Chain A
Amino acid sequence: MHNWIVNLGDSILRLFSERSANMGEALKIVGVGMLGIFVVMGAIILTVQLLNKLGSRK
């Protein structure tokens, strides 16, 4: 039982070390991606508010 747990732990650590570069790249995509969504949606919000203002003036 003890050996099984140790082997599992070793496998998990090996997996993490093999995939660390992947995880680093993924983290960058997470950060830039979330920022990007908020930037784009922010631009759309501002544009819609402008359209509403122009629409209500008429």
Chain B
Amino acid sequence: MEVFMKLLENFQYIQWQHVAMWVIGGILIYMAVAKEMEPTLLLPMGFGAILMNLPVAEVGTGVQAVINALFSIGIDYHELFPLLLFVGIGAMIDFGPLLSNPKMMIFGAAAQFGIFFTLFVASIFFPELKDAASIAIIGAADGPTAIYVAKMLGSNYIAPIMVAAYSYMALVPLVQPPVIRLCTTKKERLIKMKYEGKDVSRTTKILFPIVVTMIVAVFAPDAVALIGFLMFGNLLRECGVTNSLSDTAQNVLANLITIFLGITIAARMRAEEFLQIETLIIMGLGLVAFVVDTMGGVMIAKLMNLFLPEGKKLNPMIGAAGISAFPMSGRVVHKMGLEEDSSNFLLMHSISVNVSGQIASVIAGGLILALMGGK
């Protein structure tokens, strides 16, 4: 009988908060599997949330100790995982369309307005500005940047920030279209843009990652780690002599780090840390950041159209692709263009803007770190 009771010992430690976290973990897994929304991240995060909230006789043993150790190595210690992931992301990106029309970078810059707007709004709800800034960076629509900035600022809310950042990245096809329709007229959505794909030399493609890293180092040194690793990955891709390294970075490295990152974030998804009213506020503010980012990009395109002649006007929808959710946002805008007019191919323009958003979001993160220094 005693032996049998020993088997049931752990039931006494189950609390409603654990069950709530199992439900949250289950929702993340459902979003990943059934809806195929960012499955590579939401699945490990969801399962990790369940693992971290299983009742154990002693906290800090077994699986929870391992996840905590992964967190220490991969995130606490010099933000290793997000930086390594950026090598893989850089190797995946083709900056060619952007390099053939670099003015598209303006939309990437404008689409970061949501980050700063949300920082202002979050400063009302959170007494520590570092938390407001960490929450605002959700608007970067860039998981590694969000983790990096939140960790560097020492935010108390890294787990909800991560969950919000990756969840909203997965929800881009749901969040962006209504906002874009709200900010544009039918006539504007029907504007056709010709794509004049100029050839970009191999030298330019090789020099671009080096030059961008150096420019960012001068103006936003706090972003050098992020941009440096991103551009290193891109250089591996573009130099043409390290194809095996580029393939490894895009596939094995990216997947490996993604597995560890997803489950490691769960280290901060223990019920006592996660189940707070602030988590709901953070999810709400994250949505605000995404919405205002989208509006920022669209509005700058509409503003530019005031000065452009007929025939050269921009389809303002492409501005919405300036968030860093690559390539999803670019594809969403292209799809919306096709829905309005099946002969309107916006893909090359929207992807150009989308990749510029990747660079701009990293710069925004670096600027926030620089401006927050010591706050």
Chain A residues proximal to chain B, CB less than 8 Å: 15-16, 18-19, 22-23, 25-30, 32-34, 36-41, 43-45, 47-49, 51-52, 54-56, 58
Contact = CB atoms under 8 A, between A and B. Distances in A.
Interface of B: 99-100, 102-103, 105-106, 108-109, 112-113, 115-117, 119-120, 122-124, 127, 129, 132-133, 198, 200-201, 203-204, 207-208, 211-212, 215-216, 219-220, 356, 359-360, 363-364, 367-368, 371-372, 375
A11 B89 CA distance: 45
A51 B211 contact: yes
B364 A25 contact: no
A22 B207 CA distance: 41
Contact of A40 (B120, B122, B200, B219): B219
Contacts of B127: 18-19, 22
Contacts of A34: 112-113, 116
A19 to B, nearest CB: 5
Q: Give the residue among A16, A23, A30, A49 with the most B Cβ atoms within 10 A.
A: A30
A55 B354 CA distance: 24
Nearest to B128: A22
Contact of A36 (B106, B204, B215, B219): B219
Contact of B371 (A15, A32, A48): A32
Contact of B109 (A23, A41, A47, A58): A41
B200 A58 contact: no
Contacts of A27: 120
Given A43-B215, A45-B103, A51-B211, A29 B124 contact: no
Given A37-B360, A54-B203, 9 more contacts: A33-B116, A33-B371, A34-B113, A36-B367, A37-B109, A37-B112, A41-B105, A48-B102, A52-B99
Residue among B124, B132, B364, B375 facing the most chain A CB atoms (10 A cut-off): B124
A23 B215 CA distance: 31
Contact of B123 (A22, A56, A58): A22
Contact of B364 (A18, A37, A39): A37
A48 to B, nearest CB: 4
Contacts of A39: 219
Contact of B117 (A30, A43, A52, A56): A30
B368 A29 contact: yes
A40 B204 contact: no
Nearest to B356: A41
A54 B204 CA distance: 8
**Top-6 shortest CB links A-B:** A55-B201, A26-B123, A48-B102, A30-B116, A41-B109, A22-B123
Given A29-B371, A33-B371, A45-B105, A40 B203 contact: no
Contacts of B103: 45
Contact of A25 (B123, B203, B211): B123
Contacts of B129: 22, 25-26
Contacts of A15: 124
Nearest to B103: A45
Given A19-B124, A37-B363, A29 B133 contact: yes
